[in-house]
Amino acid sequence: MEIKNLLAKFKHISDNPKEMLDKYISNGEKVIGCFPYYVPEELVEAAGMVPFGVWGGSKKISLAKEYFASFYCSLAQMNLEMGLNGTLDKLSGIIVTTLCDTLRPLSQNFRVGVPNIPFLFLNHPQNRKEDFGITYTKEIYSELLEKLVKISGHSPSDEDFVNAYNNYNESRALRREFVKLAGKHPDKVSAVNRSAVLRSAYFMKKKEHSEMLKELNELLKKEEVKEWDGVKIVTSGIMVENKALLEILDKHKVAIVADDVAHESRAIRVDVDLNEKDRVLALAKQFANQDDDTILYDPTIYGRPKNVANLVKESGAQGVIIFMMNFCDPEEMEYVSLKKELEEEGIPMIKIGIDLQMEDFGQAETSIQAFTDVIDF
């Protein structure tokens, strides 16, 4: 298949998650919804079910207003909306986490507002690196697994764990490779298509996604690296997936060569160690090794801003666009340190406020255009 055909396929899936959901359901499979952040999807797959990412996606927010005042992020409100309006009804369960101040009440609102979908609560620890943190993570993952097994009726064998972990490790590795390849070939992979490839992974079995991505990566590797006549940037934020916004980047020849986005690269940095024979412990250790995320406590205190600056240097980007999700406390709280670090390193940056309901990007386009002019200069 040609690159453009493969990309079109990814884009179709990314644009039509319901088709994938219906396909799995009609195959008689059970599907478990996974809210942000750091849901150990491997457990869902090991228990014989299909993990399905739920990161916003409703067209409007109306029913969720009965639960949230206006000053909550659109991602949380949309997820609740989809529970309340029946969009998620076909799911056999939903895993809800609590790593930010909006997810805390969201977990409660979802549990009481959407009683028809089995609610799977997951409260990750922030002191995740020490032995006691790893032990606690293992405990809550074990509890989650127990609940998943009750839903699926399938208690995973060691082989099931190994297969699931291999599938996920492979998927993460391929996505990491794709991020680099897309950065090298912005003439072949637009920002819109880059997002579609990464986003579609949330709606597919990882093995299926990997088969397509392997093919795409191989084709991209064969392509000659052409000099890019636009600018190269790193994106940062919770989600950068709005097509109208990404089209602006494409229109102004802004190539994403790396990202610090929760929905994209932050979620695929760390693999599961298959040498750890206690399989649930292996997953707990994977979470312990997650770092450089606004959502997580940073025991080194200085890690995350430096990581973004390094990402810029390593990827050859010329600047950073921070897509600030409105009402997202963790991102807002970390913005000042990130800005300071980038300024100290002489890396140009802009901040553009977004939410998932946004339709008018006129102001964003003006800012992006001005930013590219500054970088080019």
Q: Which residues bind another protein (CB under 8 A)?
A: 66-69, 71-72, 98-102, 104-109, 111-113, 121, 123-127, 130-133, 135-136, 139-140, 294, 297-299, 301-302, 324, 326-327, 329-330, 332-337, 339
Strands 254-261 and 231-237: parallel
Minimum CB separation of residue 98 from another protein in Å reads: 4
Minimum CB separation of residue 40 from another protein in Å reads: 15
The token duo for 118 is: 């089995």
Distance CA 268, CA 214 (A): 16
Question: Long-range contacts made by residues 291-294, C-beta under 8 angstroms, separation at least 24?
Answer: 292/260, 292/266, 293/37, 293/262, 293/266, 294/262, 294/330, 294/331, 294/333, 294/334
157 Rama sector, left if φ>0, alpha if ψ -120 to 50, beta otherwise? beta
Residue with tokens 């250790």: 285
**For another protein, which is the closer residue by CB, 225 or 333?**
333
Minimum CB separation of residue 266 from another protein in Å reads: 16
What is the chain's Cα-based Rg?
20
**For another protein, which is the closer residue by CB, 62 or 132?**
132
**For another protein, which is the closer residue by CB, 102 or 372?**
102
**For another protein, which is the closer residue by CB, 131 or 227?**
131
**For another protein, which is the closer residue by CB, 53 or 305?**
305
**For another protein, which is the closer residue by CB, 133 or 163?**
133
Minimum CB separation of residue 218 from another protein in Å reads: 41
Distance CA 99, CA 96 (A): 10
Could you tell me if 284 and 137 are in contact, meaning their C-beta atoms sit under 8 angstroms apart? yes
**For another protein, which is the closer residue by CB, 336 or 370?**
336
Containing 321, the helix (H) or strand (E) segment is strand 319-325
**For another protein, which is the closer residue by CB, 108 or 166?**
108
Cα–Cα nearest to 151, from 178, 198, 185, 118: 118
Minimum CB separation of residue 87 from another protein in Å reads: 20
Could you tell me if 93 and 147 are in contact, meaning their C-beta atoms sit under 8 angstroms apart? yes
Minimum CB separation of residue 294 from another protein in Å reads: 7
Minimum CB separation of residue 280 from another protein in Å reads: 13
For 325-336, b where at least 16 C-beta lie within 10 A, e where not — what string? bbbbebbeebbe
Minimum CB separation of residue 328 from another protein in Å reads: 9
Could you tell me if 192 and 246 are in contact, meaning their C-beta atoms sit under 8 angstroms apart? yes
Could you tell me if 198 and 175 are in contact, meaning their C-beta atoms sit under 8 angstroms apart? yes
Distance CA 120, CA 35 (A): 10
